[in-house]
Amino acid sequence: MPDLTPPPLHPGQGVPLEREDYRREFREREEEIRDRDSWKLERRQHFEEQGNASWDAMRRGEWETALRLLEENRGSLLATAREDARRRSFFHRVRVVEQPLSPYVQWQLHSLRLRAEYGETVRVVDAAGLESAESAGVLPELVVLGGEVLYRIRYTGTGVPDGAVRYTDPRLVEEWERYLRTLHEGGEDIQSYFTRRVEHLPPPVPA
């Protein structure tokens, strides 16, 4: 079994970014990427998806509407997939899950299954297998963008996006990209995980 001890990540090494600055910079950098992939680690079990109609429907207890709205997003997913292919740059995601699934994660896994149909490689990792990796604390929320920059994404206590910390040291970025690759390779493909653990579940109860 590979060593899952994460590389060190000290706040003082990075540059804090306010939410809008992070979003703007992320978009600009992503548009410039060619021939390099990106990686994302999601560890929190609850986020607040602001401006997402499907999530809003789920929060109101309208599960069927939430799923229908996810399906209606296929056109946007196809457009993103075509743009990724044009830039020869693809997105790989690691989603850590705890059991039982939180309402958010159950909803998100439906969304991630659709993303995988359009080329995003999503692997699911059970938190129970990360005890050694998280002996000093849970893994952070991270994006390694194009092998050039690492963002540690910040959230409020209730899961609202709150900016990020940018790291550009080449060695640190490389170490975390390698680490995310290892987690990804050890995870389960979203499609098989969804079939085994998600599709039979009753609608989640909003918190």
**Residue in 201, 180, 39, 23 with CA at minimum distance from that of residue 109:** 201
With a cut of 50, which residues of the chain have pLDDT below it? none
Measured CA to CA in angstroms, residue 182 lies from 39, 114, 140 at distances of 11, 23, 16
The pair of three-digit structure tokens given for residue 98, joined into one six-digit string: 């705890």
pLDDT at 1: 55
Res 44: pLDDT: 97
Among residues 202, 190, 195, 17, which one has the least CA distance to residue 92? Answer: 190
Query: Which tokens hold the place of 199?
Result: 């599709």
> Is this prediction's pTM over 0.85?
yes
Given this model, what pLDDT does residue 63 score? 98
- pLDDT at res. 2: 77
Q: 41: which strand partners?
A: 94, 142
Pick left, alpha or beta for residue 176 (phi over 0 → left; psi -120 to 50 → alpha; otherwise beta): alpha
Query: Residue 180: CB partners within 8 Å, gap ≥ 6?
Result: 39, 40, 41, 92, 94, 142, 144
Q: Which of 69, 97, 120, 58 has the alpha carbon at shortest distance from 194?
A: 97
Rg of the Cα atoms in the chain:
17
For residue 11, the model assigns a pLDDT of 85
